[in-house]
Amino acid sequence: MFKRAKQTRVFQDVVEQIQDAILSGELEPGAKLPAERDLKDMFNTSRGTLREALRVLEQKGLIEIKLGVAGGAIVKRIDADPICESLALLIRSGELALEHLAEFRIKTEGSIVELAAQRATPGDIQEMERLFEKAKTYFENQDWENFLKTDETMHTYIGIMSQNPVFQFLQKSVHDNIHRYYKDYLPMNPERTMENLNDFKKIIAALKVKDGQAASHIIMDHVERFHKKMQKKNAEENNEPDNS
């Protein structure tokens, strides 16, 4: 029935007051909080306690702290970074396997690209084509590092075209985390890279004619194929782990 009364920790109260000021718009992104030595007086607390509060706000992604004169706590625009970080912890802790993320991607990116097909502006499609050409150049130069990066950008840009921030944040969080792993597990090879490129070519074509269903099927297949290759590669490496 009742929840345990929250224990009285002074820094929590400070956190809440500053957080509420930020969320209510009283403090806008870019605004600078007073110096620690002033804040501590305002809240009638010690500097150590105040700093614990600032640490929490920083971790929540609400403020950013700069050093030196004219430094201090600056209100940040809230973004998906804290979610990215929490997701990374879930993965690293083993609570989430890459299989689970792959299954999630197959289901979700299909939906996202469907929305993207409905909503993409001509400028969006131009941007996708620009990214595509960029990726192609990296492919030709065999610059796999940058190719992967551009691949990630294209995926997150699909999120942007969906014009729904939930999908944008998710797409960013997921790809931010999986690329770290795919890069470890999948030594690049020209065939798969070529496949990837072709998939995007087809997706862009589908976006142009606003064929959400087609785009959806392509990307679901894209993700599934990519993941299966990774699994296969992993299995091989586990069978003969000492092939150096």
Partner DNA sequence: TTTTTTGAATGGTTTAACCATTATCGTGTA
Partner DNA sequence: TACACGATAATGGTTAAACCATTCAAAAAA
- Contact status, residue 76 vs residue 29, Cβ threshold 8 Å: yes
Question: Which one of a second copy, DNA, none is in contact with 96 (Cβ closer than 5 to 8 A by kind)?
Answer: a second copy
The candidate with the shortest Cα–Cα distance to 202, out of 169, 179, 225, is 225
Question: Which one of a second copy, DNA, none is in contact with 125 (Cβ closer than 5 to 8 A by kind)?
Answer: none
Shortest distance, position 62 Cβ to a second copy, whole Å: 7
Shortest distance, position 39 Cβ to DNA, whole Å: 8
C-alpha count within 13 angstroms, C-beta hemisphere, residue 240? 5
Q: Report the alpha-carbon distance of residue 226 to residue 186 in Å, rounded.
A: 10
| Nearer residue to a second copy within complex by CB, 52 or 151 | 52
Reading the block at residue 7, the tokens are: 């224990």
Beta strand segments in 38-178, E: 63-66, 72-75
Question: Which one of DNA, a second copy, none is in contact with 35 (Cβ closer than 5 to 8 A by kind)?
Answer: DNA
Q: Report the alpha-carbon distance of residue 119 to residue 148 in Å, rounded.
A: 26
Q: Report the alpha-carbon distance of residue 147 to residue 153 in Å, rounded.
A: 10
Question: Which one of a second copy, DNA, none is in contact with 169 (Cβ closer than 5 to 8 A by kind)?
Answer: a second copy
| Nearer residue to DNA within complex by CB, 64 or 103 | 64
Beta strand segments in the chain, E: 63-66, 72-75
Question: What x/- string results for residues 168 through 207 when contact with a second copy is judged by CB under 8 A?
Answer: -x--------------------------------------
Q: Which of 18, 33, 62, 120 binds a second copy (CB under 8 A)?
A: 62
Q: Which of 164, 201, 202, 233 binds a second copy (CB under 8 A)?
A: 164
C-alpha radius of gyration, the chain, whole number: 23
Q: Which of 47, 92, 180, 210 binds DNA (CB under 7 A)?
A: 47
Alpha carbon of residue 229 to chain centroid: 23
**Contact partners, residue 229, CB within 8 Å, separation at least 6:** 186, 192
Question: Which one of a second copy, DNA, none is in contact with 244 (Cβ closer than 5 to 8 A by kind)?
Answer: none
Reading the block at residue 79, the tokens are: 């973004």
- The reply on whether position 35 binds DNA by CB under 7 A is yes
Q: Classify residue 32 by its DSSP letter.
A: B
Question: Which one of a second copy, DNA, none is in contact with 232 (Cβ closer than 5 to 8 A by kind)?
Answer: none
The candidate with the shortest Cα–Cα distance to 155, out of 223, 74, 221, is 223
Residues that bind DNA (CB under 7 A): 7-11, 33, 35-37, 44-49, 51-52, 54, 65-73
Q: Which residues bind a second copy (CB under 8 A)?
A: 7, 11, 22-23, 48, 51-52, 55-56, 59-62, 67, 78-80, 82-83, 85-87, 89-90, 92-93, 95-96, 100-101, 103-104, 107-108, 111-112, 114-115, 164-167, 169
